[in-house]
Amino acid sequence: MSLETVSTNRSHGGTQGVYAHASAETGTTMTFAVFVPDHEPGARLPVLWYLSGLTCTHANVTEKGEFRAACAEHGIIFVAPDTSPRGEPVPDDEGYDFGKGAGFYVDATKEPWKANFRMRAYIERELPALVAEAFPADMTRQGITGHSMGGHGALTIGLRNPQRFRSVSAFAPIVSPLACPWGEKALGGYLGADRAAWREYDACALIADGARVPALLVDQGSADGFLEDQLKTGLLVEACEAAGQSATIRMQEGYDHSYYFISTFLGEHIAWHARHFA
């Protein structure tokens, strides 16, 4: 696969790069960021995937996440994809919570979305193959994390692929799209009215249906304005307890939904994933 280097910068004893490629899954050019710590020649490093939230691109966490020092310390490659296909031919919606910037990590089945909105296949298959080819990645040691809509993506992709990910974490994730306005709009629009088809994109439903992950860590801010109506962290607590899924789910007092919250705890999450890569 042909890869274009958009930019590279030295940071924290490593290289922060931004790259672009023509995606067969989305039919568009996709841009993503990768941080690679300095390493011995021939070494292969574990990979941590970070999935971003509504309205975001790779740039949000790359510029505000404060992850590079921790990744350099633990020798972890950090990959930050975009949240949706982009460009003029791609359909869009007037709302911030649907269309461009709001791919919800699903493979759409409804028109006009199904031709381009294939973020599940892009994250689960196409981009990992490219990362394995272009970077010194040890694909036997992978973890995944994300924020909000990206937390939903991290949970559901991790639950559907437990053999691939040694560890799964999330910041303020949408834990049950079946039970919140964001999810109902997105899954209804991309997949149609059959709510049974939504279950593979709902972390609580996946756990209830038997899916498990080896290790799970979730942080949620108590001052998050989306907590009650959209995120509903308590539903994930209940699902894990009912199914016997081991999980550390923490309420962080006074923190909101912003990158001030994420950057405070992202280094701790990276260290947690590193322990599972060891």
Given a contact cutoff of 8 angstroms between Cβ atoms, the answer to whether 91 and 142 are in contact is no
Single out the catalytic residue among 224, 269, 273, 276: 224
Paired sense of beta strands 14-22 and 45-51, if any = unpaired
Single out the catalytic residue among 23, 52, 148, 169: 148
Single out the catalytic residue among 74, 152, 257, 276: 257
Which tokens sit at 19?
């790259």
Given a contact cutoff of 8 angstroms between Cβ atoms, the answer to whether 155 and 64 are in contact is no
Beta-carbon contacts of residue 15 (< 8 Å; ≥ 6 apart): 8, 9, 35, 36
CA 26 to chain centre: 17
- Give SS3 for 5: strand
CA 72 to chain centre: 20
With DSSP H G I counted as helix, E B as strand and the rest as coil, what are the percentages for the chain, rounded to 5? 35, 25, 35
Is 148 in the active site?
yes
Find the distance separating the first CA and the last CA of the chain, reported in whole Å.
30
Cα 236–Cα 231–Cα 277 angle in degrees, nearest 5: 55
> Strands across the sheet with 137-146, in order?
4-11, 14-22, 29-37, 77-80, 45-51, 137-146, 165-171, 216-221, 248-252
Quick one: three-class SS letters along 40-51?
CCCCCEEEEEEE
Where in the sequence numbering do the catalytic residues fall?
148, 224, 257
